[in-house]
Each structure stands twice: as C-alpha cells, then as structure tokens.
Amino acid sequence: MPNQMKRQMKRFSTYLASLFCLVAGLASSLPASAQTPPTVEQFTLANGMTLIVKPDRRAPTAVHMLWLRVGSMDEVDGASGVAHVLEHLMFKGTPTIPAGEFSRRVAALGGRENAFTAKDYTGYYQQIPANRLEDVMMLEADRFAHNQWPDEEFKKEIEVVKEERRLRTEDSPRALMNEALNAAVFVASPYRRPIVGWMSDLQAMTPPTHVNFSCAGMCPPMRQWWWLVMWT
C-alpha cells in the first residue's frame, strides 16, 4: 500500500475516533430525562375509543392525530377510491365552520395539518403550539360530528382526486406497473384495489356513494378509533 494512502487512512481513523468521543461525551452530558425513552400512556375512553399519549419535549409543540381502522380495503368493487375521496371531503366544513376554514384556523394558530388514506386505516393530524392543543381537538371533534358534504363541493373535489390519480399514477410508468402488479397478485383480495381508486370508478362516483360509505365504513364503532397526542 502506498505511503500516501496509509497516511490518509490513518488520518481518517483518527477523525472517526475523535468523532466517536465527541458523540459519547455529548450523550453522557445529557440530563437523564433526555436519555430515558418517554413513557407512553394508553387509555380506553368510556365510548371505547383508544387514547394514546406520548410525551415529547424536544420542542414546544404538540401533534394531534386521529386514526380510524378503515381504509381502501373496506370499499366494495365499483366504488374504489371512496375512502380517499371521503378524506378530502372531511375538509369541506360543518354548519359552524365553512369549507376551508378548518385549515385556515389551524394555520392561524401557527400550525399545519393534513390527512392520509391507506389500505387499512385513515389518519388526520395537526401540529400546533402545545398551548393550542385544545383548540384543534375541538375543531376535530366538530368535524367528525357535524361534517357536511354539499353536492357542489363533491363535484369539485372529485375532479381534484381524478387529477391526483393522473399525476401520481397515470403519468408514472412505475406507478402503473405497481398498480397492475397488485391487481394481478391480490386477485381475490380487497388489497388489489388502488387507494386512489380506478379512474372508471371515480368517473362513475356520485354523492350517495361516499355518503353510504361514510355511514357504513368511516363511522365504525369507537373501538376502531385511535386518538394519538404527542405533546410537550
């Protein structure tokens, strides 16, 4: 081995050793509370809903999440994508909060929010200053108890979902291949259906489709709900 290479390897080894000592020293200097994993607490509310609280003191923020054990696998043939469509419609307001106001209020609190649909679950979350946790909990409670879906809002939002499918699936050869592969592998399983839905189903979807699914699927017994709060 040339001398120059030996010197470079020696310098690199010295650097790694110094870095290891630095990290070890920083870790040992942290308070015990920072080194000990936080205690996660789990409760079952009177209505059967599961509440999970995980302290996280790295920043003065709180993460509020609501999970439902319902996703695209709970759909029926001919209505693929309805779980994802309903997730979109959950932002369309209540009798006291107009469409779009939910997101505006969370932003005004200094937070951010979003939602997601998977095959087995759907989730909604907000990240806000810790002292505004109660505000988003009240917003979320109102949304799930009193959400309304005017037909005009549905007609606009279904076009948004169609465009999402075009962007993420139909314009991507890899995504199209994965979609076809899932359909071929899971022949007799609800997992064969894409989360965003087949375009033919989206084009045929009407307001009663998502209303019926929301009543039968997206409002399951409370034992199928998970309420997660990570706070400081």
Q: Which residues are catalytic?
A: 87
Residue 59 pairs in a beta bridge with none
In this structure, are residues 229 and 52 in contact, taking their beta carbons and an 8 Å threshold?
A: yes
Contacts of 180 (CB under 8 A, 6+ apart): none
Alpha helix (H) residue ranges in 118-187: 133-146, 151-165, 173-185
Q: Which of 104, 106, 205, 90 is nearest to 148 (CA)?
A: 90
Q: Which residues of 223-232 are buried (b: 16+ CB within 10 A; e: fewer)?
A: eebbbbbbbe
Q: Is 192 exposed, middle or buried (0-12, 13-18, 19+ CB in 10 A)?
A: middle
227 beta partners: 51, 66
Give the pairing type, strands 50-55 and 225-231: parallel
